[in-house]
């Protein structure tokens, strides 16, 4: 029997929390404080606790979290910031919004994670930071990246928008580099009912800088020395996030269990799941396979009722608006090849056992058909 499995289904995802979330939103309405109040403070405290960070600062989106991280580190016009060519566009938008110049490096062809050797080749005298993206929910090679960057006196920012509670060698994403930027866009592992984000930071000084930057540089507290922006986390979003945060670990475990079922079904298939990095605990924001006949594989799945995604169909520099980011000295061939092959299968804690089994066998079947 054919089963229809959509790629995302957010209404179903929050269904069983409906009463708890209604009450949380009701509390905000009753209190009558909608910006930077006790829900935001509570969420910041609880998110820092959940990740083992010293502090968390709530902001309006993941892109803002990256931009304010760069600004807090004093990065702006005249500076270069390196990130990987297979990231999603907002990583690059944030660098440009901070006034800096993005530079792309290549990735490992098997894991899709940043390649430290390629990173090393991009570093120059104007390079001030690296944004390592924990893509698809798997921590990138943070130790190697910190070593390469550290030797050059360059800060590392972790883009954790897809990696809530992911870990490497027991340390959580966002707590290893100088700052960790998170998005709570609705489809992320921890998603709000709109836009929001947060930054994890390890020092009091960074925390105070970020708290000022998110409210115009904090003119309410006296003279503005670092001009900021308006990027606040709303009370209602924070109230929703507090409820959902309590379920995040369980949801991530469910994602990992689904990934194990997909892995088993595809063990001998012509499409191959991306390789995992040793020592990492994957948050499985996305379950990504490489298919050399991608269109045929996706269309066979579509016919079976299974919707898939592509993250991302083009490397950053192959978008017309970013063609200027290509540097001939740094080949980006692995990012380009991955862009032509990656396919994301439906993934999320809302999927039923029956749906997961159906997707797993449909994917194995589609792999055979599309070979």
Ligand X SMILES: *Cc1c(COP(=O)(O)O)cnc(C)c1O
Kindly list the residues in this chain that would bind ligand X in the complex (CB under 6 A). 61-63, 87-88, 90-91, 133, 159, 161-162, 183, 185, 195, 197
**Under 8 Å CB-to-CB from 108, ≥6 apart: which residues?**
114, 115, 334
Minimum separation from the CB atom of position 94 to ligand X (A):
7
The residue assigned the tokens 């792999």 is: 367
The least distance separating ligand X from the CB of residue 60, rounded to whole angstroms, comes to 8
Nearer to ligand X, 28 or 60 (CB): 60
Q: How far is the CB of 63 from ligand X (least distance, A)?
A: 3
Question: Minimum distance between the CB of residue 197 and ligand X, rounded to whole angstroms?
Answer: 5
DSSP assignments along 251-299, one per residue: HHHHHHHHHHHHHHHTTTSSSEEPPPPTTEE---SSEEEE-TTHHHHHH
Give the residue closest to ligand X by C-beta: 62
Residue 48 or residue 198: which is nearer to ligand X going by CB? 198
Task: State whether the Cα torsion 157-161-162-163 is positive or negative.
Answer: positive
- Alpha-carbon dihedral of residues 188, 189, 195, 197, nearest 10 degrees? -110
Beta bridge partners of 180: 158, 200
Buried b (16+ CB within 10 A) or exposed e, 4-26: ebeebeeeebbeeeeebbeebbe
Q: CA-to-CA distance for 148 and 144, rounded, in angstroms?
A: 6
- Toward ligand X, which CB reaches closer, 87 or 138? 87
Least distance to ligand X, CB of residue 98, Å: 14
Q: Which is nearer to ligand X, 13 or 90 (CB)?
A: 90
Provide the minimum distance between the beta carbon of 191 and ligand X in the complex, in angstroms, as a whole number: 10
Phi, psi dihedrals of residue 66, rounded to the nearest 5°: -70, -45
C-beta closer to ligand X: residue 274 or 364: 274
Q: Report the residue number, 160 or 304, with the smaller CB distance to ligand X.
A: 160
Q: 213 near 68, Cβ under 8 Å?
A: yes
Residue 362 Cβ vs ligand X, minimum distance, rounded to whole Å: 26
To the nearest whole angstrom, how small is the minimum distance from the Cβ of residue 335 to ligand X?
Answer: 14
Pair 39, 26: CB distance under 8 Å: no
Sequence-distant (6+) residues with CB within 8 A of 204 are 54, 55
Nearer to ligand X, 103 or 266 (CB): 103
Which is closer to ligand X, CB of 234 or CB of 355? 234
Shortest CB 331 distance to ligand X, Å: 22
Q: Which is nearer to ligand X, 140 or 349 (CB)?
A: 140
190 vs 289 by CB, closer to ligand X: 190
> Based on the number of CB atoms within 10 Å of its own CB, is 199 exposed (0-12), middle (13-18) or buried (19 or more)?
buried
Contact of 107 with 114, CB cutoff 8 Å: yes
CA gap 19, 246 in Å, rounded: 15
**Min CB(67)–ligand X separation in Å:** 9
H or E stretch including 55? strand 55-59
DSSP string of 122-149, one letter each residue: H--TTEEEEEEE-GGG----HHHHHHHH
């Amino acid at each position: 029997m054919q089963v229809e499995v959509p790629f995302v289904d957010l209404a179903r995802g929050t269904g069983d929390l409906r009463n708890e979330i209604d009450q949380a939103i009701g509390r905000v309405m009753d209190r009558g404080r909608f910006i930077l109040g006790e829900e935001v403070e509570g969420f910041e405290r609880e998110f820092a606790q959940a990740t083992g960070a010293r502090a968390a600062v709530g902001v309006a989106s993941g892109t803002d979290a990256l931009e304010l991280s760069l600004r807090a580190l004093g990065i702006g016009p005249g500076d270069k910031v390196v990130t990987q060519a297979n990231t999603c566009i907002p990583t690059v938008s944030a660098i440009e919004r901070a006034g800096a110049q993005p530079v792309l490096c290549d990735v490992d062809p098997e894991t899709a994670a940043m390649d430290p050797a390629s990173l090393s080749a991009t570093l120059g005298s104007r390079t001030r930071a690296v944004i390592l993206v924990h893509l698809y929910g798997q921590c990138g090679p943070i130790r190697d990246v910190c070593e390469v960057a550290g030797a050059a006196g360059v800060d590392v920012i972790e883009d954790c928008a897809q990696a809530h509670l992911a870990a490497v060698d027991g340390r959580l994403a966002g707590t290893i580099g100088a700052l960790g930027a998170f998005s709570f866009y609705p489809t992320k592992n921890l998603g709000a009912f709109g836009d929001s984000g947060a930054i994890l930071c390890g020092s009091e000084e960074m925390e105070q800088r970020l708290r000022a930057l998110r409210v115009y540089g904090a003119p309410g507290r006296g003279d503005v020395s670092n001009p900021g922006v308006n990027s606040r986390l709303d009370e209602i979003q924070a109230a929703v996030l507090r409820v959902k945060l309590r379920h995040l670990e369980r949801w991530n475990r469910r994602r990992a269990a689904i990934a194990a079922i997909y892995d088993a079904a595809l063990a001998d298939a012509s499409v191959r799941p991306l390789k995992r990095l040793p020592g990492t605990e994957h948050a499985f924001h996305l379950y990504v396979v490489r298919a050399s006949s991608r269109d045929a594989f996706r269309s066979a799945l579509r016919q079976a009722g299974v919707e898939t995604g592509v993250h991302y169909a083009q490397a950053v520099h192959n978008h017309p608006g970013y063609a200027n980011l290509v540097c001939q000295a740094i080949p980006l061939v692995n990012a380009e090849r991955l862009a032509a092959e990656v396919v994301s299968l439906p993934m999320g804690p809302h999927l039923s056992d029956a749906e997961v089994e159906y997707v797993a066998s449909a994917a194995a079947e589609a792999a055979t058909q599309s070979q």
